[in-house]
């Protein structure tokens, strides 16, 4: 067993950690959730616009209904005057009769407008119902995606925790200065920061005949550094 096995194990564990972190960041549910959230925002904005139109109709209908109620009350009051015995002049009685008739005609006109508003509300209410259905569907899909994402995150994080624990153990078997050198170099070379000399190829990128000869002549179980790129070469 090489005294650099712990270093090689550390490199393998770092590679596993990076792969797990890459998997974690690249879970497809993340993009699907982001897309679903954008769709939900769009649907909510569309519903708000439809609700605004429905509120406008409701305001107009309410104003018309209030006017109808006021006219109805006025007709009742005018009828009370006409038939309450307080009007004795035929001329005044005719004026009240004409006024009541005019009020009723206006009331009928307003009631027609109320019906128009109610009819105008029907397709808008249908739009709102359809919009609510779409929003609920997207919300359910997002809930499912978030649940799936949470489950996968939990699995990967559990794997990460295990590998990170193994990495801590591996660190204890490597000289601190060597660990520091390896960690400085890893951002450039990743999983090929430390390579094992196989008797034919030294550094994966720089295998000149001089470098190969140096590797072949090196003592067994030693560690060389590539003069070109700085990779660490383990001589088995």
Q: Which is more confident, 118 or 89?
A: 118
Maximum mean pLDDT: which of 98-112, 183-197, 205-219: 98-112
Distance CA 51, CA 79 (A): 41
Please state the length of the chain.
Answer: 236
Token reading at 189: 């070379």
Q: With 80 as the cut, is the pLDDT of residue 227 above it?
A: no
Backbone angles phi, psi at 157, to 5 degrees: -65, -35
pLDDT on residue 51: 98
Q: How confident is the model at residue 203 (pLDDT cuts 50, 70, 90)?
A: low
Count Cβ atoms below 10 Å from residue 80 Cβ, excluding itself.
11
Q: What is the pLDDT of residues 143-161, one digit of tens each?
A: 999 999 999 999 999 999 9
pLDDT on residue 116: 97
Residue with tokens 């109320």: 114
Sequence ranges of the domains in the chain? 10-174, 175-236
Q: What is the pLDDT of residues 186-201, one digit of tens each?
A: 998 888 889 888 765 5
pLDDT on residue 204: 57
CA angle 93, 99, 105 (to 5 degrees): 140
The DSSP bridge pattern shows strands 232-235 and 222-225 to be: antiparallel
Distance CA 163, CA 155 (A): 13
CA neighbor of 170 nearest in space, from 183, 158, 155, 156: 183
Give the contacts of 175 (CB within 8 A, at least 6 positions apart): none
Distance CA 119, CA 189 (A): 72
- Adjacency order of strands within the sheet including 232-235: 194-196, 232-235, 222-225
DSSP letter string over the chain? --TTHHHHHHHHHHHHHHHHHHHHHT-HHHHHHHHHHHHHHHHHHHHHHHHHHHHHHHHHHHHHHHHHHHHHHHHHHHHHHHHTT----HHHHHHHHHHHHHHHHHHHHHHHHHHHHHHHHHHHHHHHHHHHHHHHHHHHHHHHHHHHHHHHHHHHHHHHHHHHHHHHHHHTTS-HHHHHHHHHHHHHHGGGSEEE--SS-SSSS---HHHHHHHHHSPTTEEEE-TTT--EEEE-
Which of 42-56, 135-149, 217-231 has the weakest average pLDDT?
217-231
What architecture is the 10-174 domain classified under in CATH? Orthogonal Bundle (1.10)
Q: With 90 as the cut, is the pLDDT of residue 136 above it?
A: yes
Q: How far is CA 11 from CA 115, 141, 178, in A?
A: 78, 40, 12
């Amino acid at each position: 067993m090489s005294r650099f096995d712990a270093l090689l194990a550390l490199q393998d564990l770092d590679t596993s950690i990076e792969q797990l972190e890459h998997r974690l960041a690249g879970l497809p549910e993340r993009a699907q959730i982001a897309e679903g959230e954008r769709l939900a925002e769009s649907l909510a904005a569309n519903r708000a616009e439809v609700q605004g139109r429905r509120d406008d109709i409701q305001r107009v209908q309410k104003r018309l209904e209030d006017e109808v109620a006021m006219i109805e009350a006025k007709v009742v009051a005018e009828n009370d005057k006409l038939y309450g015995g307080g009007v004795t002049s035929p001329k005044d009685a005719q004026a009240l009769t004409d006024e009541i008739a005019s009020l009723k005609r206006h009331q009928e006109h307003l009631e027609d407008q109320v019906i128009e508003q109610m009819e105008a509300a029907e397709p808008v209410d249908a739009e709102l119902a359809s919009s609510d259905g779409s929003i609920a569907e997207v919300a359910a899909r997002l809930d499912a995606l978030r649940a799936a994402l949470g489950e996968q995150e939990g699995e990967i994080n559990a794997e990460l925790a295990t590998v990170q624990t193994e990495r801590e153990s591996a660190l204890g078997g490597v000289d601190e200065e060597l660990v520091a050198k390896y960690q400085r170099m890893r951002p450039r070379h990743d999983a090929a920061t430390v390579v094992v000399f196989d008797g034919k190829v030294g550094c994966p990128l720089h295998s000149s005949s001089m470098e190969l000869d140096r590797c072949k002549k090196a003592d067994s179980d030693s560690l060389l550094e590539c003069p070109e790129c700085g990779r660490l070469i383990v001589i088995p």
